[in-house]
A and B are shown apart, each in its own frame.
Chain A
Amino acid sequence: HQEEGEEKEEPGPENAFEKSPFHLTAEDVYDMSYVVGRELLTIRSEPSRTAQLQFKIVRILEMLEALVNESNLTVEELKMERDNLKKEVEGLRKECPAGK
């Protein structure tokens, strides 16, 4: 009952689709979720089949969210690990400046 009409797309949420998958954050997944949800609402011909599709998409996005969160966490961990190792190397170099 609340047709908003297809006005200009919000520059915000739509942007998530343009991103590289490897730069995706959970926030982007939420934006995608909103955009897809809004578009699903405009399909009215077969409500029950649309609804089934809707909840499958919810599941896919839930999975995507989990993957994005997990991979961001892993990247963070690896970066910290790398930085620690770098520091260690620098420390060792300073201790024996001869290098060998």
Chain B
Amino acid sequence: VNIPRKEKDFQGMLEYKKDDEPKLVKNLILDLKPRGVAVNLIPGLPAYILFMCVRHADYLNDDQKVRSLLTSTINGIKKVLKKRGDDFETVSFWLSNTCRFLHCLKQYSGEEGFMKHNTPRQNEHCLTNFDLAEYRQVLSDLAIQIYQQLVRVLENILQPMIVSGMLEHETIQGVSGVKPTGLRKRTSSIADEGTYTLDSIIRQLNAFHSVMCQHGMDPELIKQVVKQMFYIVGAVTLNNLLLRKDMCSWSKGMQIRYNVSQLEEWLRDKNLMNSGAKETLEPLIQAAQLLQVKKKTDEDAEAICSMCNALTTAQIVKVLNLYTPVNEFEERVLVSFIRTIQMRLRDRKDSPQLLMDAKHIFPVTFPFNPSSLALETIQIPASLGLAFISRV
């Protein structure tokens, strides 16, 4: 008969010999795969283990051990990101774990402001000897750096898909005058005939989102990543619209609005409507509307000026200039109409900016996200290869 061991035997600390520190860093950071049984079942496990090691060094009042462990941890994470920094999974994994480690250092700092959601047992687990506020600052800077790296990686993956999937590929058949060159599309292949579709983009967004969820990334952080991804999609699409004559037609406007609605649907699906991601598409949405509205009378001009508040005058004028009628029922935009628009927008104090900065990164924040996990219940799974550390 299995008699359950009393967990109160353990205090939620982990002990290792000083000589084993390099081995600890190697197995827990350098060689750890971002996908595996243990880290998938308990997201953030490496961070919890590291923090429990810090706790024991704090308990021993061994400042040298604390300092050495924290330094090796930070250097270890930097090393992994240098080596595999172009792999989305690796970067997402270490962003999640760096944040979790930071949350642990706060949650168990002993500072009242961070203890509000703790259980009494968790409060007993606070550090007693050292104030690690300075290390928290270093870790927070590291997290910012990892976040920026994550954005670069996902940007590199998304970039080649955007123009093809958002603008060139035709999802709605028969609206544009141009006949698609013979190829019919199957609904769900990564890219048909080597070109990306809106489907490829959505599938890529799914893949990113699913990886971040599996890593237990803070929901608030996931929202920021998604907002950033949507910004990239919107900015690259709009910039191409502003550079290509063949993209400024009534039917392209239709196409873009359809594609945007699919992206919104995705946000709704993932419960991300409050992430601010949708708002980043506003300039693109307005440009698409601009392609579709009437562009003739003074009333039309007035409507355009009140509608396009997220576009600069330069962008509005550019779209009107590039506008190409697709069929005989439409007409070119007259120069006089464009003049009217320019006159009306003269008092607007906006930037002369034409293209959006597609490389812009919104500043990231890491709101404190305490965990309900009980440190004294954590065991060390065998697959981590950490048999040389022991529970205390």
Contact = CB atoms under 8 A, between A and B. Distances in A.
Interface in B72-129: 117
Interface stretch (B250-258, B299-307, B376-384): B376-384
A44 B372 CA distance: 9
Contacts of A1: 117, 369-372
A61 B383 CA distance: 10
B68 to A, nearest CB: 29
Given A7-B271, A8-B269, A47 B38 contact: no
Contacts of B369: 1-2
B4 A52 contact: yes
Contact of B41 (A27, A34, A48, A49): A34
Interface in A23-71: 27, 29-31, 33-34, 36-37, 40, 44, 47-49, 51-52, 54-55, 57-59, 61-62, 64-65
A99 interface: no
A33 B42 CA distance: 9
Contacts, number: 83
B374 A34 contact: no
Interface residues of B, number: 32
Given A2-B219, A7-B271, A65 B37 contact: yes
B41 A57 contact: yes
Contact of A30 (B4, B35, B374): B35
Given A10-B210, A34-B214, A61 B37 contact: yes
A69 B214 CA distance: 21
B202 to A, nearest CB: 13
A34 B373 CA distance: 16
Q: Tell me if A's interface is mostly helix, strand, loop or mixed.
A: helix
Contacts of A61: 37, 41
Residue of A2, A12, A54, A58 contacting most chain B CB atoms (<10 Å): A58
Contact of B377 (A13, A33, A34, A48): A48
A4 interface: yes
Nearest to B215: A34
Contact of B381 (A2, A8, A52, A55): A55
A40 to B, nearest CB: 8
Contact of B374 (A27, A31, A51): A51
Residue of B7, B38, B40 contacting most chain A CB atoms (<10 Å): B40
Contacts of A62: 37-38, 381-383
Contact of A49 (B4, B269, B271, B379): B4
Contacts of B271: 5, 7
A51 B213 contact: no
B7 A48 contact: yes
A1 to B, nearest CB: 6
Contacts of B37: 29-30, 33, 58, 61-62, 64-65
A44 B7 CA distance: 16
A7 B209 CA distance: 14
A34 B372 CA distance: 18
Given A1-B372, A8-B269, A13-B214, A52 B377 contact: yes
Contacts of A55: 379, 381
B40 A47 contact: no
Given A36-B41, A37-B43, A59 B36 contact: no
A55 B7 CA distance: 13
B218 interface: yes
Interface string B23-64: 000000000000111101111000000000000000000000
B219 A37 contact: no
Contacts of A31: 40
Given A1-B371, A62-B38, 10 more contacts: A5-B271, A30-B36, A30-B37, A33-B36, A40-B41, A44-B372, A47-B377, A48-B377, A58-B37, A59-B382
29 contacts: A1-B370, A2-B369, A12-B206, A12-B210, A33-B37, A33-B40, A34-B41, A34-B214, A36-B41, A37-B40, A44-B372, A47-B372, A47-B374, A48-B376, A49-B4, A51-B374, A51-B379, A52-B5, A52-B377, A54-B42, A57-B41, A58-B42, A58-B379, A59-B382, A61-B37, A62-B382, A64-B37, A65-B37, A65-B383
